[in-house]
Amino acid sequence: MAATVTFDESALSQLAATADRATRRNLIANLRRMADSLEDTVGTIHRYGHIDLEKAMIKVGLDLGIFKVLAGADGAMTADEMAQKTGADPQLMKRILRYYNTINVAREVGPHRYEATNITRNLTEEVCVAAMGHYYDLVAKQYHATPDFLKQNGYKNPTDETNTALQLGWNTRKPPFELMLELPGAMEHFHVYMTLRRQVALSWLAVYPVEEETAALSDSDSDSDSDKERPLYVNVGGGSGVQCAQFRDRYPHIPGRVILQDLPETVAQALPTPGVENMAHDFFEPQPVRGAKFYFMRGVPHNHPPQRVKLLFERIREAMVEDSVLLVDETVLPDTGVSFIAASIDLTMLGAFASMERTEAEWRALGESAGLELVRKYEYNPLEHETVMDFRLPRRLNI
């Protein structure tokens, strides 16, 4: 007879409730490793075999509004009540909810009675809804096409951004940002996800010494018209413009122009922020804003293979003056122990753009290929290896 194994779940819950982010992440990784180490063949078949079903049923829940209804309820709800609130057939709702109980998206508390879990609540967050839209509506076809793509290309590491798994999956030659423009809601999902995925407290603004670097610009003696006119912060490929707004909000006293640059279609939808100039610019073309203090890019070069990043960096280097800084806000992979999220995004970049996440040595070499020196790096989110790197023109030797 099978023994029922019990363990002190409440002690674990207590530890989890008081643990910081890093400890919780570590706990999850260890518990998953332990669960996987116990898995038999049947378990492996059904875990991978039904992996697409899991995402599909999350999409159904989002479309029906199941998570909002359940998370907003005052306690548990019956499947019939859920059916009534969402407009789904009661029998269908019973089948969906009993499946959700098995993946912890809802908790069964009695016959056909369910309550919300932390995951139900996560799935009501705007960032989660946008991210699921992005992965389900756009990226899923790319993942599906990846095995055929790699086979057709002889399992070479892809570096040609005009021939990708995403294009194979969508049967198109268009680059991803052009394709997204054609798919209803795709750009919106993407930008909402990009914008909300990070908070100011866990961003480059929390670690980079902006005041120190701009002391010469903001001291009152030099608060001249030329300082006010000088571009202070140019966010290249800045997306929705939220980061420009955050920068202006945090440093209203530092003189100089704050400029958002992106493709015309994105700039047309960008946040209008007083004190921020929104400018359409293709970053592979010569940089029109010359001599800025900071050129900044977050999550941009990782979308491009090395030869394109070299060009992108060169375009900025050509516009830099002696005290300019190119800030590259990206994942910097460690040599070992890369996180699940970073390793997954690396392979997602492979399929979408023939691109990659990079180690410090790879970033340094890319900078050097474009005539830039990696001077320092500031890690602000060690769990995801998120880091802002400070590239400058090479220092002249005083000979």
Ligand X SMILES: C[S@@+](CC[C@H](N)C(=O)[O-])C[C@H]1O[C@@H](n2cnc3c(N)ncnc32)[C@H](O)[C@@H]1O
Q: Which residues are catalytic?
A: 302
- Asked if 292 and 231 count as a contact pair (C-beta separation under 8 A), the reply is yes
How far is CA 352 from each of CA 197, 339, 347, rounded to the nearest angstrom?
19, 20, 9
Angle between helices 51-64 and 126-134 (to 10 degrees): 130
- The minimum distance between CB 193 and ligand X, in angstroms, equals 9
- Write out 149-173 in H/E/C secondary structure: HHHHCCCCCCCCCCCCHHHHHHCCC
| Residue nearer to ligand X on the CB measure, 284 or 340 | 284
- The minimum distance between CB 176 and ligand X, in angstroms, equals 8
Strand pairing report for 113-116 and 106-110:
antiparallel
- The minimum distance between CB 233 and ligand X, in angstroms, equals 13
- The minimum distance between CB 243 and ligand X, in angstroms, equals 7
| Residue nearer to ligand X on the CB measure, 114 or 204 | 204
Tracing tokens 């809802």 back to the chain, one arrives at: 106
The DSSP letter of residue 125 is: S
For residue 285, the tally of other CB atoms under 10 A from its CB is: 9
Spatial separation of the C-alpha atoms in residues 399 and 285, rounded to whole Å: 35
| Residue nearer to ligand X on the CB measure, 169 or 301 | 301
Contacts of 39 (CB under 8 A, 6+ apart): 47
- Asked if 305 and 162 count as a contact pair (C-beta separation under 8 A), the reply is no
Contacting positions for ligand X (CB under 6 A): 177, 194-195, 237-239, 262-263, 266, 282-284, 298-300, 303
- The minimum distance between CB 197 and ligand X, in angstroms, equals 8
- The minimum distance between CB 279 and ligand X, in angstroms, equals 10
- Asked if 285 and 264 count as a contact pair (C-beta separation under 8 A), the reply is no
- Asked if 77 and 69 count as a contact pair (C-beta separation under 8 A), the reply is yes
| Residue nearer to ligand X on the CB measure, 227 or 386 | 386
| Residue nearer to ligand X on the CB measure, 212 or 285 | 285
Phi, psi of 204 (to 5 degrees): -60, -30
| Residue nearer to ligand X on the CB measure, 20 or 285 | 285
| Angle 131-135-140 from CA coordinates, rounded to 5° | 175
Token digits of residue 61: 């829940």
